[in-house]
C-alpha cells in the first residue's frame, strides 16, 4: 500500500521543484515546422494600391468603416468604445438610474428658447419674468441633480463596494439634463423600470 503511494509523492516533489526553478522549460507541444511550411502559413506582404488616389480612397473607406463600427458600439454602450469618463460598472449604474426616471431637468433646453425670446423683447416686465424663470429652472435642475446623484452614490456603494464613486454625482446630474433621445450611450432601461 505504501509502495503505490510513493511514486505519486515523488512526481509531486519533482513538479514542485521544477515550478520553483527559474530555468525549467516545459516540453514542446510539437515538432518545429519546416521552413517551407512556415513560409506558406505566413500571410503575404501588404500590397499597396498602384496609384495614390486609390490608396487615399482605400484609406478613407477603412477609416469610415472603423468610425461607423465605433459609433454603433458607443450607441450600444459597449465598454471598449466608451470614452474613459463613461467606463465602469458605477457609471453604467448611474446611467441606468437616470434613464429609469422621468425628470424636468431633461427639458431645460426646451425652456431656454422662450427665455431667449423674452429677454430680447423691449418690455421690462417680460425681462423680469425671464429672470424669474431662469432662477426656477436652475433650482429645479440643481435639486433633481442632487437627489439623483445621492441615490446613485448610495446604490453604487451598496452594489460595488470598493469601487470609486468619485464624480458619479456630477455625472448623474449632467446625464439628467440631457434629453432622453440625445443621450449617448442610448438608454438601456425604460422610464419606470426598477434598477
Length of the chain: 195
- Residue 195 located in a structural domain: no
Q: Considering only 16-30, 35-49, 86-100, which range has the smallest mean pLDDT?
A: 16-30
Report the domain count for the chain: 1
What pLDDT, on the 0 to 100 scale, is given for residue 36?
A: 82
pLDDT confidence band for 2 (50 / 70 / 90): very low
What pLDDT, on the 0 to 100 scale, is given for residue 141?
A: 93
- Give the mean model confidence (pLDDT) for residues 97-115: 89
Residue 23 has pLDDT above 90, yes or no: no
Model confidence, pTM: 0.67
- Across the chain, mean pLDDT equals 85
Residue 4 has pLDDT above 50, yes or no: no
- Residue 58 located in a structural domain: no
- Residue 21 located in a structural domain: no
Residue 30 has pLDDT above 90, yes or no: no
- Higher pLDDT pick, 29 / 156: 156
- Residue 174 located in a structural domain: yes
What pLDDT, on the 0 to 100 scale, is given for residue 14?
A: 56
- Residue 24 located in a structural domain: no
What pLDDT, on the 0 to 100 scale, is given for residue 9?
A: 54
What pLDDT, on the 0 to 100 scale, is given for residue 175?
A: 95
CA distance 87 to 90: 8
- Residue 47 located in a structural domain: no
pLDDT in tens, 145-163: 999 999 999 999 999 999 9
- Residue 102 located in a structural domain: yes
pLDDT in tens, 58-97: 889 999 999 999 999 998 888 889 999 999 999 999 999 9
Q: Domain containing 145: what range?
A: 79-182
pLDDT confidence band for 44 (50 / 70 / 90): low
CA distance 168 to 163: 11
CA–CA distance from 159 to each of 2, 50, 89, 150, 193 (Å)?
52, 57, 10, 14, 18
Instruction: Annotate the chain with DSSP letters as a single string.
Output: -HHHHHHHHHHHHHHHHHHH-TT--PPPSSPPPPHHHHHHHSPPPP---SSHHHHHHHHHHHHHHHHHHHHHHHHHT-GGGS-GGG-SHHHHHHHHHHHTS--SGGGHHHHHHHHHHHHHSS-HHHHHHHHHHHHHHHHHHHHHHHHHHHHHHHHHHHHSTTS--TTHHHHHHHHHTS-GGG-SSPPSS-TT---
Task: Using CB atoms within 10 Å of the CB of residue 176, give its burial: 0 to 12 exposed, 13 to 18 middle, 19+ buried.
Answer: buried
- Residue 15 located in a structural domain: no
Amino acid at each position: 500500500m505504501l509502495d503505490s503511494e510513493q511514486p505519486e509523492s515523488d512526481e509531486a516533489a519533482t513538479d514542485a521543484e521544477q515550478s520553483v526553478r527559474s530555468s525549467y522549460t516545459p516540453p514542446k507541444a510539437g515538432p518545429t515546422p519546416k521552413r517551407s511550411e512556415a513560409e506558406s502559413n505566413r500571410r503575404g506582404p501588404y500590397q499597396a494600391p498602384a496609384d495614390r488616389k486609390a490608396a487615399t480612397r482605400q484609406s478613407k473607406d477603412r477609416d469610415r468603416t472603423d468610425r461607423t463600427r465605433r459609433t454603433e458600439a458607443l450607441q450600444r454602450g459597449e465598454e471598449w468604445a466608451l470614452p474613459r469618463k463613461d467606463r465602469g460598472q458605477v457609471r453604467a449604474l448611474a446611467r441606468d438610474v437616470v434613464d429609469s426616471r422621468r425628470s424636468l431637468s431633461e427639458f431645460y433646453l426646451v425652456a431656454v428658447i422662450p427665455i431667449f425670446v423674452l429677454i430680447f423683447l423691449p418690455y421690462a416686465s417680460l425681462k423680469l419674468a425671464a429672470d424669474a424663470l431662469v432662477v426656477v429652472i436652475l433650482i429645479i435642475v440643481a435639486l433633481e441633480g442632487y437627489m439623483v446623484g445621492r441615490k446613485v452614490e448610495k446604490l453604487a456603494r451598496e452594489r460595488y463596494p470598493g469601487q470609486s464613486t468619485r464624480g458619479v454625482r456630477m455625472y448623474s446630474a449632467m446625464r439628467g439634463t440631457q434629453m432622453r433621445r440625445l443621450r449617448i450611450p442610448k438608454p438601456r432601461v425604460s422610464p419606470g423600470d426598477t434598477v
